[in-house]
């Protein structure tokens, strides 16, 4: 069986982002970009299934600007077999991404698709569920455990009240959460090897998909800053302030 892992290039999670003063968006110039951390977990999950002999090929794909080849090379260095870049300019909403992915699924016919539960840039948490609906497949979201069986995948999902385990008939979509695994690092020899692995570049037009945004972002701005606080000297002073100044106890 083949597994498809869609990934995204985002500002590295350690970077403090800057909002452009003119309100037109978040500054991406000269900022460290990396693979969305959840997508590394998705790739790791796919690689573990391959190592367990349950899948034979791990294909990764991204819809993004030309430079997104970086994160595909990272994924190949982790151990993915093959990569697809659907090259676009500018932002594509999750719906557009899901439509392109549905076309890739049509061509590649993977047995299932594993992807991150959200991207840490737009925090939308939509792509996996949308892809699942477009394909008419079942879905599991926010996975913290995953077991591939004959004809179905058993997934433990992190839900508001705790954990819920479901079986999803294959082919299926699984979106992964932080506690599923700890992704491996790409070793230097593997980074070198990854340079020779196949990376195909196509455009959404090749699929006849319109990825132009539906919603209009009118403005991007910084949230109001919190006023600085005070340092209390000891527990007594803390209790006194909480009682008499903040009035919260």
Partner 1 sequence: MTKILLLAEHDNNTLNEATLRAVTAAKQIGDVNILVVGHACDAVAQTASKISGVEKVLLADGVVFVHQLAEPVAALLVELAPAYDVIMSAATSIGKSALPRVAALLDVAQISEIIEVVSPDTFVRPIYAGNALQKVRASEGKKVITVRPTSFEPAPSEGDAPIETLSTNTTNEKTTFVSAALSDGDRVELVSAKTVISGGRAFGSKEQFDQLLEPLAQKLNGAIGASRAAVDAGYAPNEWQVGQTGKVVAPDLYVAIGISGAIQHLAGMKDSKTIVAINSDPDAPINQIADYVLIADLFEAVPELTDKL
Nearest-approach distance from CB 171 to ligand FAD, in angstroms:
27
* CA distance to 9, 13, 64, 80, per residue, from 69 (Å): 9, 19, 9, 14
Which of 154, 184, 193, 197 touches partner 1 (CB under 8 A)? Answer: 154
Is residue 244 a contact partner of residue 232, using CB atoms and an 8 Å limit? no
Report the residue closest to ligand FAD, judged by CB: 37
Burial (0-12, 13-18, 19+ Cβ within 10 Å), 103:
middle
User: Based on CB atoms, which residue is closest to partner 1, 170 or 191?
Assistant: 170
Least separation, in Å, of the C-beta of 13 and ligand FAD? Answer: 4
Binding of ligand FAD by 33 (CB under 6 A): no
Half-sphere exposure of 101 (CA within 13 A, CB side): 35
- Closest distance to partner 1 from the beta carbon of 164 (Å): 5
From the CB of 186, what's the least distance to ligand FAD, in Å? 17
Q: What distance in Å separates the CA atoms of residue 247 and residue 145, rounded to the nearest whole number?
A: 43
Span near partner 1 by CB under 8 A; candidates 28-36, 61-69, 176-184, 194-202: 176-184
List the structure tokens of 159.
């839900």
Footprint on residues 159-188 left by ligand FAD (CB under 6 A): 178
- β-bridge partners, 176: 116, 143
Of 65 and 134, nearer to partner 1 (C-beta) is 134
37 binding ligand FAD? (CB under 6 A): yes
- Does residue 95 bind ligand FAD (CB under 6 A)? no
Interacting partner of 133 out of partner 1, ligand FAD, none (Cβ under 5 to 8 A depending on kind): partner 1
Torsion angles phi and psi, residue 61, rounded to 5: -145, 145
d(CA 159, CA 156): 9
Among 48, 87, 126, 190, binds partner 1 (CB under 8 A): 126
> Contact 59/34 with Cβ under 8 angstroms?
no
13 makes contact with ligand FAD (CB under 6 A): yes
Q: Which two tokens stand for residue 171?
A: 């082919």
CA distances from 193 to 28, 77, 125, 186 (A): 29, 7, 33, 10
Return the residue of 1, 28, 166, 202 that touches partner 1, per CB under 8 A. Answer: 166
- Give the one entry of partner 1, ligand FAD, none that residue 12 binds, where binding means its C-beta sits below a cut-off of 5 to 8 angstroms depending on kind: none
Residue 7: HSE in the Cβ half-sphere, 13 Å Cα cutoff: 34
Rounded to a whole number of angstroms, the minimum distance from the CB of residue 189 to partner 1 is 29
Q: What are phi and psi of 115, to 5 degrees?
A: -145, 165
CB of 45 to ligand FAD, least distance (A): 15
Does position 32 bind partner 1 by CB under 8 A?
no
Interface ranges with ligand FAD (CB under 6 A): 13, 37, 120, 178
């Amino acid at each position: 069986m083949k597994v498809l892992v869609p990934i995204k290039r985002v500002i590295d999670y350690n970077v403090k982002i800057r909002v452009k003063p003119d309100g037109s968006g978040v500054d991406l110039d000269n900022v460290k970009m990396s693979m969305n951390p959840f997508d590394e977990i998705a790739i790791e999950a796919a690689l573990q299934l391959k190592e367990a002999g349950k899948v034979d090929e791990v294909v990764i794909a991204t819809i993004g600007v030309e430079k997104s080849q970086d994160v595909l090379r990272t994924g190949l260095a982790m151990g993915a077999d093959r990569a697809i870049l659907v090259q676009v300019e500018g932002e594509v909403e999750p719906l557009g991404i899901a439509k392109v992915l549905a076309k890739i699924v049509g061509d590649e016919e993977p047995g299932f698709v594993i992807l991150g539960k959200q991207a840490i840039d737009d925090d939308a948490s939509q792509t996996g569920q949308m892809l699942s609906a477009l394909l008419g497949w079942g879905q599991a979201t926010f996975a913290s455990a995953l077991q591939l069986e004959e004809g179905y995948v058993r997934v433990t999902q992190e839900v508001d009240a705790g954990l819920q385990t479901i079986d999803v008939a294959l082919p299926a979509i699984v979106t992964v959460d932080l506690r599923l695994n700890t992704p491996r690092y790409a070793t230097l020899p593997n980074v070198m090897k990854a340079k020779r692995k196949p990376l195909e570049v196509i455009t959404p037009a090749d699929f006849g998909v319109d990825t132009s945004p539906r919603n209009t972002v009118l403005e991007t701005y910084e949230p109001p800053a919190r006023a600085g606080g005070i340092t209390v000297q000891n527990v007594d002073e803390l209790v006194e302030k909480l009682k008499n100044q903040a009035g919260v106890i």
